[in-house]
Amino acid sequence: MTRRHLAALILLAASLVATAGPATAHGFSSVVFADLTAPGPGVVRAELGLEYDLLVVSVADAEQDDPLFRAGTPAWEARDDDAMAAALAEHRESVLAYVADRFTVAAGGQDCTPSWDGSARIEQREGVPYAVIDVDHTCGEQAGAHRITSTLFPDDEDYVTGTTTVVTYTLDAGTGSAALDADRPSFSTAQPWTERFAEFFRLGAEHLLFGLDHILFLLAVIVGSRRLREIVLTATAFTVAHSITFILAATGLVHVPAAVVEPVIALSIAVVAGWHLWRIRERGAGAVDLGPATGPFGLDRAGWARIGVVLVFGLVHGLGFAGALGIDEPWSWTLLWSLLVFNVGIEAVQLGIIAVVFPVLALLRRRWPVVETWVTGAVAAGVGLMGTVWFAQRLLGA
């Protein structure tokens, strides 16, 4: 394929970039953390971690508490932990009213009574200040399993697309975890483990399916793979790599700031897509004969190098998957099995996309090789330009 042909592909792909969304592929979503324990008979303590600025804005809007907004916002902008905690303590009645209305604990079919002494601490999660507060729910002598409900965020905020509440609990002589969102806002400690795991599987599947940057990276991998064995080995390398860093991040052993992870993910999209364009230029549009096996598993040196690149970038994508749930603390050991199921959900969608797209490309390659070259080239050019734009935006903080 000539340079003129490549230029035509890039111009065609530029129309895709012209309509590209913002640099963030997941929208502004929030994660709430809730760790539930029983410090005494008839009492459930909920240690809640909430994004500080979102909490302040939401409380001020819902409770008409403008003084909290005026005190809390400058403290957040200055990243003054003590001032942020003091603002919450000074307006603890408004904060408790807002939180208690949207995060509830019930026992025996009756709501427990919440209380909070106003103490708070500020923690950093993925570079975002979180307010951590302990809300005690007095359930009295009510017997039976506990039901937890969370409808925290969004309220009237146009900029929040949704919230996932990640719950861990040691209650009712058992331990477990759950993920709550707008579709499934509540769960019971009597809920079977299969239902809890199904929720995390769905979250993982949705994260890959609606995470445009990961989808584009996968498309770049697929269009650049010419043999079935190559896509299998490449996908396996990506899976192994992101699973390793996902688990390391989920157990608090590795932490890389999102300011580093997100630009590198965008760069990985551009590099893997550009690699395919380079191979097209080297082989030419008419080079459709894959030829005999030239190395281990029938891959040449360039094919193995590409797999190595995908493996390295897969390590970074694993940190991105963990960051989707804000998982970067050692207490996440409690969530380990649920997080592994989250990862399985990611893999299920990945395999489904490969099973649909790769056979179509293989059919084109066999019957209409020139068309296949132009199709994969156009996809790679569009994906590569999109990744380049995102890389620049994320690097500059746009």
- Domain limits of the chain? 30-190, 204-287+296-396
Q: 121-125, 243-247, 329-333: lowest mean pLDDT where?
A: 329-333
| 19 Cβ contact list (under 8 Å, min separation 6) | none
Distance of CA 286 to the CA centre of its chain: 40
The predicted model gives 241-254 an average pLDDT of 79
Reported as a single tens digit per residue, the pLDDT across 145-178 is 889 999 998 877 667 778 888 888 888 777 778 8
Mean pLDDT comparison of 71-75, 97-101, 234-238, 311-315, highest-scoring range: 97-101
Residue 95 has pLDDT above 90, yes or no: yes
Task: Output the pLDDT for position 105.
Answer: 94
Half-sphere exposure of 155 (CA within 13 A, CB side): 15
- Residue 18's pLDDT band (cuts 50, 70, 90): very low
Q: List the structure tokens of 299.
A: 């891959």
**Biggest CA pair distance of the chain:** 79
* Confidence bin at 335 (pLDDT 50/70/90): low
Length of the chain equals 398
pLDDT of residue 288: 43
Q: Where are the alpha helices (DSSP H) in the chain?
A: 3-18, 52-63, 66-77, 81-90, 92-102, 193-210, 212-223, 228-250, 258-283, 301-324, 336-367, 369-396
Q: Record the pTM.
A: 0.63
Is-contact 179 338, C-beta < 8 A? yes
Which has more pLDDT, 92 or 226? Answer: 92
pLDDT at position 255: 75
Nearest CA-CA partner of 229 in 292, 299, 326? 299
